[in-house]
């Protein structure tokens, strides 16, 4: 029979639904909140999810959006609520839920909804591409999405000001309504027709780099810009250049000025270095769910190697690297060595020209000094990451570095750890 995930914060309801469905021969998994539901979903796709709307950590609608954004909404979901409203039901259905049950749930109503959902099978993912909504644990990415949503609520046209390591496409995809058209103007080599805009109604028009657009593509862009309201379209373009620089390079000056009326600076992967592991992990999950890669997972060392790489090609380069790693890995876990081999990174080499005629204690201290200096440099003086990498508690790590005479990379870290020492001494 089917594997059914029940997500509800009320123990009584979980147990009642579980008992009913197990009596029907189904395999039931229970989750008391959204965090447990995420873990259960990541462990393996269920055949059906019964999802409560009102939960203490993350509400069901938000979790539904998160699964949709990550490409994980490829199983039927039935929403449940004791405070159901028409708006909630409509919103859940729009995102991809198949049914809506009001509590208290009658036995026959439950069984009928479960039967219908299982018969209809998995719905196609509500969003074909990864979006910022999938990154719920990275505060900078959450804030980025909020700012984009806020600006997009007031303007149909948006200029993303980018630099090396651009996240422009990920940002633009995050403003694409589920099921609506995506039209890349940079790939459109013919004059833009009115019929094309009509067919793309409600969708997104995108250009990743204004400086690369031909004169015809610039005319297409201007043509679309004048008709955004008529066809309910959103225009999102990106550039690393100012309007003046674009005009000097031959771009239509008047068009550059119009596009720059509403601009937003988007951080690159260099600025979001600490978020790269989560981005990479979500990309891998999305590829697996979409059937573009076999089941794989990135080891901690592999994630760290990806974080330390300079992604001048931005999100597209990172996505390509993760896909290549997943397709080329022979084992389920992708190692740091495979990342190094793919990206042609120079292997980490630690100087080892230590005099071997020292007493053991002095030789050990000399090695430790080189070891910590090497990893401090790799982590740009970040004591938190150094503590994680070396497996030492921060206060102990600070004392160790002080005893070895290794200078700290950040004054803020030193002061913080000195306070920690003081608290330890007081105890």
Following CA atoms 116, 117, 121, 126 in sequence, which dihedral angle do they give, to the nearest 10 degrees? 140
Residue 128 has what pLDDT?
A: 60
Q: What is the dihedral of CA 240, 244, 245, 249, to 10 degrees?
A: 130
CB 38 within 8 A of CB 72: no
pLDDT surpassing 80 at residue 85: no
Question: Which is higher by pLDDT, 205 or 165?
Answer: 205
Between 31 and 189, the more confident residue is: 31
- pLDDT for the residue 166: 86
The residue with greater pLDDT, 350 or 385, is: 385
Q: Are 3-120 and 132-265 in the same CATH fold?
A: yes
pLDDT of 354 reads 62
Residue 344 Rama label (left phi>0; alpha psi -120 to 50; beta): left
Q: What is the pLDDT of residues 140-154, one digit of tens each?
A: 999 999 999 999 999
What is the pTM (predicted TM-score) of this model? Answer: 0.62
Average pLDDT over residues 109-117: 92
- List, edge to edge, every strand of the sheet that includes 204-207: 182-184, 204-207, 234-239, 157-161, 263-265
Q: Report the pLDDT value the prediction gives residue 158, as an integer from 0 to 100.
A: 96
Q: What local confidence, expressed as pLDDT, does residue 278 receive?
A: 92
- The Cα–Cα gap between 52 and 100 comes to 10
Residue 92 confidence (pLDDT): 86
48 SS3 class: strand
Residue 109 has a pLDDT of: 92
Coil, strand or helix: which one is 403? helix
Q: What is the C-alpha to C-alpha distance for residues 303 and 360, in angstroms, rounded to an integer?
A: 35
At 362 the pLDDT is: 78
Q: Which position has the higher pLDDT, 53 or 423?
A: 53
- CATH fold, domain 360-426, is Arc Repressor Mutant, subunit A (1.10.10)
Strand residue runs (E) in 8-46: 27-31
CATH architecture of 275-343: Orthogonal Bundle (1.10)
Q: What is the distance between the alpha carbons of residues 172 and 170, in angstroms, rounded to a whole number?
A: 6
Q: Using an 8 Å Cβ cutoff, are 25 and 1 in contact?
A: yes
Statement: residue 69 has pLDDT above 60: yes
Average pLDDT across the chain, whole number = 86
Percent of the chain having pLDDT more than 70? 89
CATH architecture designation of domain 3-120:
3-Layer(aba) Sandwich (3.40)
pLDDT of res. 298: 95
Q: Name the residue ranges covered by the structural domains of the chain.
A: 3-120, 132-265, 275-343, 360-426
Q: Residue 296 is encoded by which pair of tokens?
A: 């794989």
Bridge-partner residues for 159, per DSSP?
A: 237, 263
Question: Using omega within 30 degrees of 0 as the cis cutoff, is the peptide bond preceding 104 cis?
Answer: yes
Residue carrying structure tokens 């690393």: 240
For the segment 28-56, the average pLDDT, to the nearest whole number, is 91
Per-residue pLDDT band at 353 (split at 50, 70, 90): low
Counting Cα atoms < 13 Å in the Cβ hemisphere of 332 gives: 1
CA 13 to chain centre: 32
Q: Work out the end-to-end distance of the chain between its first and last CA atoms, rounded to an integer number of angstroms.
A: 58
Specify the pLDDT at position 348.
46
- Cα separation of 197 and 185, whole Å? 12
Which tens digits make up the pLDDT trace of 325-347? Answer: 999 999 999 999 999 999 875 54
Give the per-residue pLDDT at 252: 94
Rounded to an integer, what distance in angstroms lies between the CA atom of residue 33 and that of residue 185? 42
Confidence class for position 426, pLDDT limits 50, 70, 90: very low
Q: Whose CA is closest to 134, among 264, 315, 334, 385?
A: 315
- When the candidates are 3.60.15.10, 3.40.50.300, 3.40.190.10, 3.40.50.2300, the CATH number that belongs to 132-265 is 3.40.50.300
Give kind and range of the element (H or E) at residue 30.
strand 27-31
Q: Helix/strand/coil (H, E, C) string of 148-172?
A: HHHHHCCCCEEEEECCCCCCHHHHH
Q: What is the pLDDT of residue 401?
A: 86
Q: Are 181 and 203 in contact (CB under 8 A)?
A: yes
- pLDDT of 153-187, one tens digit each? 999 999 999 987 789 999 999 999 877 899 999 98
């Amino acid at each position: 029979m089917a594997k059914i995930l029940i997500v509800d914060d009320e123990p009584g309801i979980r147990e009642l639904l579980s008992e009913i469905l197990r009596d029907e021969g189904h395999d039931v998994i229970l989750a008391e909140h959204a965090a447990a539901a995420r873990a259960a979903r990541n462990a393996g796709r269920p055949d059906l999810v019964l999802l409560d709307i009102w939960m203490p950590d993350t509400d069901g609608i938000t979790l539904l959006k998160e699964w949709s954004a990550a490409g994980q909404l490829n199983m039927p979901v039935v929403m449940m609520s004791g405070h159901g409203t028409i708006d909630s039901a409509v919103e859940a259905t729009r995102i991809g839920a198949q049914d809506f049950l009001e509590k208290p749930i009658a036995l026959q109503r439950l069984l009928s909804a479960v039967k219908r959902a299982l018969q209809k099978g998995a719905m196609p993912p509500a969003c074909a591409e990864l979006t910022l909504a999938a990154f719920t644990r990275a505060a900078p990415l959450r804030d980025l999405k909020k700012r984009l949503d806020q600006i997009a609520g007031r303007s149909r046209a948006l200029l993303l000001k980018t630099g090396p390591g651009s996240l422009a496409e990920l940002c633009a995809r995050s403003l694409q309504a589920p099921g609506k058209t995506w039209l890349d103007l940079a790939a459109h080599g013919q004059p833009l027709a009115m019929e094309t805009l009509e067919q793309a109604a409600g969708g997104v028009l995108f250009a990743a780099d204004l400086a690369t657009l031909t004169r015809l593509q610039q005319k297409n862009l201007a043509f679309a810009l004048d008709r955004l309201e008529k066809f309910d379209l959103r225009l999102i373009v990106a550039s690393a250049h100012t309007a003046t620089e674009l005009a000097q390079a031959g771009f239509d000056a008047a068009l550059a000025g119009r596009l720059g009326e509403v601009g937003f600076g988007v951080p690159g992967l260099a600025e979001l270095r600490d978020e790269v592991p989560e981005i990479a992990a979500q990309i891998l999950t999305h590829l697996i769910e979409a059937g573009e890669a076999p089941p794989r997972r990135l080891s901690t060392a592999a994630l760290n190697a990806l974080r330390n790489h300079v992604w001048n090609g931005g999100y597209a380069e990172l996505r390509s690297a993760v896909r290549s790693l997943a397709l080329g890995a022979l084992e389920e876990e992708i190692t740091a060595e495979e990342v190094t081999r793919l990206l042609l990174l120079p292997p980490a080499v630690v100087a080892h020209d230590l005099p071997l005629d020292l007493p053991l204690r002095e030789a050990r201290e000399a090695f430790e000094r080189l070891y910590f200096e090497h990893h401090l440099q790799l982590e740009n003086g970040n004591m938190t990451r150094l503590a994680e990498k070396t497996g030492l508690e921060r206060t102990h790590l600070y004392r160790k570095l002080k005893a070895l005479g290794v200078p700290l990379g950040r004054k803020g870290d030193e002061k913080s750890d000195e306070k920690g020492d003081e608290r330890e001494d007081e105890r």
